[in-house]
Structure 1
Amino acid sequence: MSEAVLSTLAVSGGFNDPVFEAQGVFRALMDATARPGTLHDLPVSVAPPAPLGSGSGAIAVSMCDPDTPVWLGDGADSEGVRAWLSFQCGAPVVQEADKSTFAFARAVAMPALDALALGTQEYPDRSTTLVVEVDALEGGAHLILEGPGIDGQRVVSPAGLPEDFAAQRTANRALFPRGVDIVLVAGLRIMALPRSTVARHANETETG
């Protein structure tokens, strides 16, 4: 890809009103995290280069900066995406997933949660937030959620997650307060699954 094309991709597709839109994304993320499994719209207009999705791009531009290492998985990485992130928020892209503060990937190529930064007992916040592009946030296999921010149980059905997603979540939850926080994205809609949330398939009897 030529430098001229990369430059064009880098400067286009960002927020129209960076401060206002970044604040809107931040509020949506906080609301989603406070109420795991609920659906929230990102009130923005953003068009990152392919293959990064619009919701993932909005989160990246809002939450990442030069001190926020980013890892891009299959289905989220390209020369255009790297140039766009560099211009829009200055975030450095790292090769090692466990060195990232934010990681972006498609569900079909989602990294194993234990391959990401898990934090430490002293500094559990030094972990990766994984942003996963899914086919849809409804219409998939049912997951039962329990934990803080949920009154009893909440049933969700994101589509396209790996078959072992619930098992990985159980192992991740066992590390608490360490562990990976997850944000599922479809278009400009999000659902948060923080590390404190227990997730299991509807046919399982144990909550993990």
Structure 2
Amino acid sequence: MALARGFTDPVHDAQAVFRAAMDALARPGRVGSLACALAPPAPLAPELAALALTLADADTPIWLDAPLAEVAAVSEFLRFHTGAPIVPSPAEAAFALIADPAACPDFAQFRQGSPDYPDASTTLILAVERLSDDDGLGLEGPGIRGRTQLDAAPLPADWPARLRANHAGFPRGVDLLLTAPGRVAGLPRSARLVEPVVDSMEA
């Protein structure tokens, strides 16, 4: 079987994806566009593939969740286009690609960084089906003007507790990129989970 191609225009395509990822992390909870024309081997979503091809290299190990790890073509695609090693343990990963977000491992299983080197942590990239900033969990923190909201699904049942614990360990902790078809949103460890805004007319 022929290896699926990477970016058509590697330089400009990667630059566009990089800007989208950095904007997402700089503006937590804000859903932005992530256009990509990739056709990676299933179940690797095009958005996961685009971020991996942009962010990963030979010095950034990648961990794959079970659905991705079970398909040899996915590992072959990522190794060829990024040069990144595929590692068996979440604790070894600079990036974690997650095709089944409802079964995402506990954040504590991933690299947390340290107070001196907080960037030596794992960035989790999840492919969800629904991603919207019109509703959902309330967020405050750096990069957020006032308060925003983010709704995504499917996710683990304890997702809010995970986000609270992740923020509580700041500056240690993981950063997250949530993707859906054509969309991306960031949840860095600096984002703080708060109660949703209640409309005074509804109270």
Length-normalised TM-score, structure 2: 0.91
Residue 92 of structure 2 corresponds to residue 99 of structure 1: yes
Match of 2:141 among 143, 147, 155: 147
Q: State percent identity of aligned pairs.
A: 43
- The answer as to 2:165 corresponding to 1:165 is no
The answer on whether the counterparts of 1:103 and 1:131 sit within 8 Å (CA) in structure 2 is yes
Question: Does the residue aligned with 1:157 lie in a helix, a strand or coil?
Answer: strand
When residues 170 and 23 of structure 1 are mapped into structure 2, their CA distance, relative to the original with a 3 A threshold, is same
Distance in 1 (CA, whole Å) between partners of 2:28 and 2:67 is 25
CA distance in 1, matches of 2:182, 2:72: 23
Contact preservation (8 Å) 1:135, 1:160: yes
CA distance in 1, matches of 2:55, 2:169: 24
Q: CA deviation at 1:201?
A: 5.6
2:190 to 169, 172, 196: 196
Q: Contact between 2:139 and 2:191, CA under 8 Å: does it hold in 1? A: yes
What is the CA RMSD across the aligned residues, in angstroms? Answer: 1.9
Q: 1:41 to 1:100 in 2, by over 3 A?
A: same
Q: Are the counterparts in 2 of residues 166 and 201 from structure 1 also a CA contact under 8 Å?
A: no
Q: Does 1:30 align with 2:22?
A: yes
Whole-angstrom CA distance in 1 between matches of 2:195 and 2:59: 37
Runs of 4+ residues over 4 Å off in structure 1: none
Shift of the 125–43 alpha-carbon distance from structure 1 to 2, 3 Å rule, reads same
Please report how far the alpha carbon of residue 76 of structure 1 lies from its aligned counterpart in structure 2 after TM superposition.
2.7
Q: Distance in 2 between matches of 1:42 and 1:140?
A: 18
User: With structure 1 as the length reference, what TM-score do the two structures score?
Assistant: 0.89
Residues matched between the structures, number: 196
- Deviation of 1:135 after TM superposition, in Å, equals 1.4
Structure 2: gaps spanning 5 or more residues: 198-203
- Please state how far the C-alpha of 1:136 moved relative to its aligned partner: 1.1
1:16 equivalent in structure 2:
8
Tell me, in whole angstroms, the C-alpha distance in 1 between the residues paired with 2:133 and 2:191: 21
Q: CA deviation at 1:141?
A: 7.3
Residue deviations 1:25-58, cap 9 Å, x none?
Answer: 1111111111111111123211111111110000
Does the Cα contact within 8 Å between 2:56 and 2:82 map onto a contact in 1? yes
Aligned to 2:200: none
Note closer, same or farther for the CA distance 1:166–1:141 as it changes in structure 2 (3 Å cut).
farther
Secondary structure of residue in 2 paired with 1:183: strand
Q: Within 5 Å, which residues of 2 pair with 1:24-173? A: 24-77=16-69, 78-105=71-98, 106-138=100-132, 142-173=136-167
* Contact 1:24–1:44 under 8 Å retained in 2: no
